[in-house]
Structure 1
Amino acid sequence: MNKKNQLGIWMDHSVAYLMEFTTKPFEIQTIVHEFLLENKKRNKLKNGTTITTINKYYNRIGEAIINYDKIVLFGPSNAKIEFFDVLSEDTRFMKLKIEIKETDKMNVNQQHAFINEYFLQR
């Protein structure tokens, strides 16, 4: 499998939008935190479910980024920091260059512009 280069991830605790930096039109991969979907459907909270499902959410994102070299994590919540901590404990991600940027909530066009600006400066 070929190594991909640069990826931007806008994320919070409910959803992650993964966008590869490329000259082609952006393709967005969306990863949704399953617990939030289940909670909305059932409208209830179970003990211990939050930790288990947040780890599954971060693991799903980790599997999606395994073939990238450079990643910028951005968004309004501390989910990006929690996710970075998960990656830091996994030897598969030791060679990744990851930077964290604090941003506000953004629409897709703002996310795209942020990634373009970020990687064009590098």
Structure 2
Amino acid sequence: MSEKAFKQIGLWIDHNKAHIIGYDEGHVKLIETVESPVEALKREAGEGNDSTRFTSNNNHTSNNEYKKHNVSQNELKEYFKILENKLHPYEDILLFGPGTAKEQIRNRLREIKSFDKKWLSIQKSDRLTENQLLAFVRDFYKDEFPSISPGF
């Protein structure tokens, strides 16, 4: 089954990576894993703590925190932009995972006009193995969209 055949997908996301799982009529498949460009800790050579570089004098402070925050925010925007492009062809999107990344990307997608007509849902989950990811998406869509049975 090709990626284009899926209309419903699940996106397990945290700030380190995202897994895109396709769902179609009870069949699930891990389509892709996207690694985040966000680095947790960056140090330049010679840099100790967040005071100025190459000095241990506590009277000299720097704006390192501001710079690091801006760098990390730009990396996060780049990560979400990559995911936006991958999510664009799908109609029903389940966002799930630990932490706040799922809410952050949902808010970003809601600001984009091309995602206005798409269905977005958020569920909380822990870190899951690949089989647990597939089962989570299958169970969600099976329960959310049960097959319609003929009349009584």
TM-score w.r.t. length of structure 1: 0.86
Indicate the residue corresponding to 2:109 in structure 1: 87
Which has more helix, going by share of residues? 1
**How many angstroms does 1:119 deviate by?**
0.8
Q: Of the candidates 60, 64, 68, which is equivalent to residue 82 of structure 2?
A: 60
Q: Over aligned residue pairs, what C-alpha RMSD do you find? A: 2.0
Contact 1:8–1:71 (CA under 8 A) maintained in structure 2:
yes
Aligned residue for 1:30, secondary structure, equals: strand
* Runs of 4+ residues deviating >4 angstroms: none
Aligned residue for 2:117, secondary structure, equals: coil
Structure 2: which 5+ residue stretches go unaligned? 45-66, 146-152
Between Structure 1 and Structure 2, how many residues are aligned?
Answer: 117
Indicate the residue corresponding to 2:21 in structure 1: 19
Mapped to 2, the partners of 1:25 and 1:7 lie a distance apart of: 9
Query: For residue 127 of structure 2, what is the amino acid of its counterpart?
Result: K
CA-to-aligned-CA distance 1:29-75 (integer Å, 9 cap, x gap): 11111122xx67xx428622100010010111010010111010000
Indicate the residue corresponding to 1:6 in structure 2: 8
Structure 1: which 5+ residue stretches go unaligned? none
Q: Of the candidates 7, 13, 32, which is equivalent to residue 29 of structure 1?
A: 32
Mapped to 2, the partners of 1:71 and 1:25 lie a distance apart of: 14
Q: Percent of pairs identical after alignment?
A: 24
**How many angstroms does 1:24 deviate by?**
5.1
Aligned residue for 2:15, secondary structure, equals: coil
Map of 1:110-121 to 2, 5 A cutoff?
110-121=132-143
Question: Over alpha carbons, which structure has the higher Rg?
Answer: 2
Mapped to 2, the partners of 1:95 and 1:3 lie a distance apart of: 19
